[in-house]
Structure 1
Amino acid sequence: MPRIPAPHRVPRQPWAWLWLFAASQVAVLALWWIGGWQWGLPALLLTHGALVWATLRPQSPWFSPVLTRLRTDERVLWLTIDDGPSDDTVALLDLLDAFDARATFFLVGERARARPELVREIARRGHGIGNHSHSHPAAWFWALPPRRMAAEIADAQAVLGELAGQPPRWFRAVVGMANPFVAAALRRHGLARVAWSARGFDAVAADPQQVVARVERTLAPGAIVLMHEGAGHGRNVETMRALLERLRVLGYRCVVPEISAA
């Protein structure tokens, strides 16, 4: 199966945002001094709002480069599966084999440590493995302080590297939200951040056809598709089958991209 190049952009200046933000606050103080609160307060809210927006938007490149789609005109896509390994993993692997599809599994370190045989099976069947944090703190990942953020990424990298035989090269933020302290950890481990361009909200939506319809609305050549495993509703495998069937009808192939220079 052919592979499509994907730029692997590790953050080069992970603290550049801090200097820019500090400069913006100096400018805010100057505006406040010159024009009073009528000028200073809106400027303060604008600069802090931009910081929050850059954190909460998965496709934001403000703190670190992020890959959102592959550059190709071919009907290929990068299928990515978050939150494993889980009880769904083997069934998903069998489905992917049946459809001659390849995917990248973004795995959680603690879950991988508990089920090492699944990590090895993913690698054995020729799929990619990415770093998706160590403990998956979904509610607070966006707000983690520097030391905790570094540990989340480093611990998962160590576990996944040991089990898969080589360390991951790709990272996906939990819920896609990467706060300002992610970039330094990515640089330390040579990781590049991946977001997505198409999703169906299958982590919460239990209707396979609804999920597939949502994915299809934003599908295009080179799309990065976000899917999940192990959701509480228990229908991720059924949903994946429906998606793969629809992709076959539409003429799309699922490939694992070849890492290229940025």
Structure 2
Amino acid sequence: MNPAAALHRPPRRPHAWAWLFGASQLAVIALWWGYGWRVGLPALLLTHLVLVWATLRPQSRLLSPVLTRLPTSERVVWLTIDDGPSDDTPALLDLLDAHGARATFFVVGARAQVRPAQLREIVRRGHGIGNHSHDHPSATFWALSPRAMRAQIATAQATLAELAGMPPRWFRAVVGMANPFVAVALKEHGLARVAWSARGFDAVLRDPARVVARIERDLAPGAIVLLHEGAAHGRNAETLALLLRRLDALGYRCVLPEAMEALPEIAFTRHSRPSTGSGQAGLRPGGNPVA
């Protein structure tokens, strides 16, 4: 099997969660009937808390498959950049070119409509694009109804396919939170959900050194790195520049998952658990690079 195809896993049974949740509620009824509210009520709360946890945790696989890292022992990472296109996009593309790096831009459909040339430039330069919703409702995405969720994903998918000339294959939930209704829309459009294994909170932190130090703590072969563009503090390009320098120093390459087929077969291990250490080089606690 093509390794890249093995990574791309749209939901096959998008309603499985409903059957499992229904079975759990039947169990709760049985417990309540047999042992009273002192057992039944905690069981009811626990089953609902599990559903909430699965929605709010980006890496949870309970509601749909999600890719959190590339299963390889090679020193490669997948850079993913959310929230564009933006004023930062041209500078980010130039930085990636300068380091021979590839990234996937998880773009917002409505923002791509405003900046179609930037979207096409992303593709022209050999980077990937992903679906990141139509208009990025960050406060409410996790709680959208089935109809609203399907509209967010379908509208963005149609927009990006038209503007870029190809439909995205990857999806990232807004703020990473995917409620039970995401899976149906992903299956309809052949989208696979992507989370991350390393992040530095660059959407809110102004200091690039702090952001890169946070990312570096979680660097490992196959890490999926979460970055952003267009943040209000205006320092996303500086952050990417520093991160690319650190990755070069640590011997990491930035690849797209589609390029995994080019790696040696022995390096592609679905069940490998590489060390999370980042090697001898690193950042001091204060954020200063170690030579």
Asked whether the 8 Å contact 1:4–1:255 carries over to 2, the reply is no
Q: For residue 122 of structure 1, what is the aligned residue in structure 2?
A: 122
Native 8 Å contact 2:109 2:134 kept in 1 = yes
Structure 2 residue identity aligned to 1:14: P
8 Å CA contact retained: 1:9, 1:192: yes
| Counterparts of residues 42-53 of structure 1 (less than 5 Å) | 42-53=42-53
Percent of aligned pairs sharing the same letter: 74
1:4 CA drift (Å): 7.1
Alignment of 1:150-229 (within 5 A): 150-229=150-229
Alpha carbon RMSD of aligned pairs, Å?
Answer: 1.5
Residue 51 of structure 1: how far off its partner (Å): 0.2
Alignment correspondent of 2:231: 231
Asked if the contact 2:103/2:254 (under 8 Å) is kept, the reply is: yes
Map of 1:77 onto structure 2: 77
Question: Relative contact order: is structure 1 or structure 2 higher (C-alpha 8 Å, sep ≥ 6)?
Answer: 1
Distance 1:260 1:198 in 2: 19
> What TM-score comes out, normalization by structure 2 length?
0.87
How far apart, CA to CA, are the structure 2 residues paired with 1:23 and 1:54? 17
Q: Which amino acid aligns with 1:63?
A: L
* Uncovered stretches (5+) of structure 2, i.e. residues with no partner: 262-269, 271-291
d(CA) in 2 for partners of 1:260 and 1:166?
20
Q: Please state how far the C-alpha of 1:259 moved relative to its aligned partner.
A: 7.6
What is the CA-CA distance between 1:101 and the residue it aligns to?
A: 0.3
Q: Distance in 1 between matches of 2:259 and 2:10?
A: 12
Structure 1 residue 17: deviation in Å? 0.5
Question: Deviation above 2 Å: which 4+ runs of structure 1?
Answer: 3-6, 259-262
* Aligned positions, number: 260
Please tell me whether the aligned partners of residues 136 and 174 of structure 1 are also in contact (alpha carbons under 8 angstroms): yes
Residues in 1 aligned to 2:201 and 2:135: alpha-carbon distance in whole angstroms: 21
- Please give the secondary structure, in 2, of the residue aligned with 1:258: helix
- Alignment check: 8 A CA contact 1:102 1:254 kept: yes
User: 2 CA distance for matches of 1:260 and 1:190?
Assistant: 20
Residue deviations 1:125-149 (CA, integer Å, cap 9, x gap):
0000000000100001000000000
| CA distance in structure 2 between the partners assigned to 1:15 and 1:72 by the alignment | 31
Q: Contact 1:7–1:260 at 8 Å: present in 2 too?
A: no
1:132 maps to 132
Q: Give 2:277's aligned residue.
A: none
Normalising by structure 1, what TM-score? 0.97
Whole-Å Cα distance in 2 between the matches of residues 241 and 259 of structure 1? 23
Match of 2:110 in 1: 110
